[in-house]
Amino acid sequence: MPKLAVVYLSTTGNTKSMAEAISDGARSRNVDVEVKSFYDWKPEEAAAADAIAIGSSTFHYTMLPPIEKFVDGVIVAGAKGKDGAAFGSYGWSGEAPTMIAEKMRKGGINVLDPVLRVQYKPNEKDIKECNRLGKDLAEKIKK
Ligand SMILES: Cc1cc2nc3c(=O)[nH]c(=O)nc-3n(C[C@H](O)[C@H](O)[C@H](O)COP(=O)(O)O)c2cc1C
């Protein structure tokens, strides 16, 4: 079965909720999904999946160094040419998801649109959009 790796950095659970909704969407399309914090992933493990979704909340107008390092690790481990997605919760400026997407694209990962950003806690509509992104990723890797 094709596999999707979902990686997140989340301090209060908002980006984690998005990660879980993306995973639910993908599972509904019958792909194997593994979702966990970046802290529990090895970059090479994530890079071995058929698609990689990476999310982080924004702090101090940027992405935090550990998630930046993680994206670099995934690219070095050979994720070039694979499908991906970037997402994250934010408060007022929300740079991290776009920065993650840009880094992934520079590394040759085909990042699907939209790059999903949700202000604070995802509402019902946000969760549906996350489900949709998960389904779209799943359809990509099933082909
Ligand atoms: C110390 C601190 C700095 C933050 N800096 C930013 C920022 O620069 N831009 C922004 O959009 N949100 C900022 N936020 C808001 C968080 O991104 C927001 O609360 C987000 O929903 C947290 O998601 P998480 O639970 O997945 O970590 C900041 C929050 C904290 C606590």
0.85 exceeded by the pTM?
A: yes
Decide if domain 3-142 falls under CATH 3.40.50.360. Answer: yes
Flag whether pLDDT at 95 surpasses 90: yes
Q: Pick from 6, 20, 59 the residue to mutate for probing ligand 1's pocket: most ligand atoms within 8 Å of its CB.
A: 59
Atom of ligand 1 at shortest distance to CA of 58?
Answer: 17
Residue 89 · residue 57 · CB < 8 Å: yes
Residue extents of the structural domains in the chain: 3-142
Cβ count near 101 (within 10 Å) = 24
**Whether residue 13 has its Cβ less than 6 Å from ligand 1:** yes
pLDDT band at 143 (very low <50, low <70, confident <90, very high): confident
Report which of 97, 126, 73, 109 is spatially closest to residue 8, judged by C-alpha positions: 97
Answer whether 90 contacts ligand 1 (Cβ < 6 A). Answer: yes
Report pLDDT digits (tens) over 41-72.
Answer: 999 999 999 999 999 999 999 999 999 999 99
The predicted pLDDT at position 48 comes to: 97
Nearest to 47 by CA among 23, 8, 83: 83
Cross-strand partners of 35: 6
First to last CA, the chain: 12
The share of the chain scoring above pLDDT 70, in percent, equals: 100
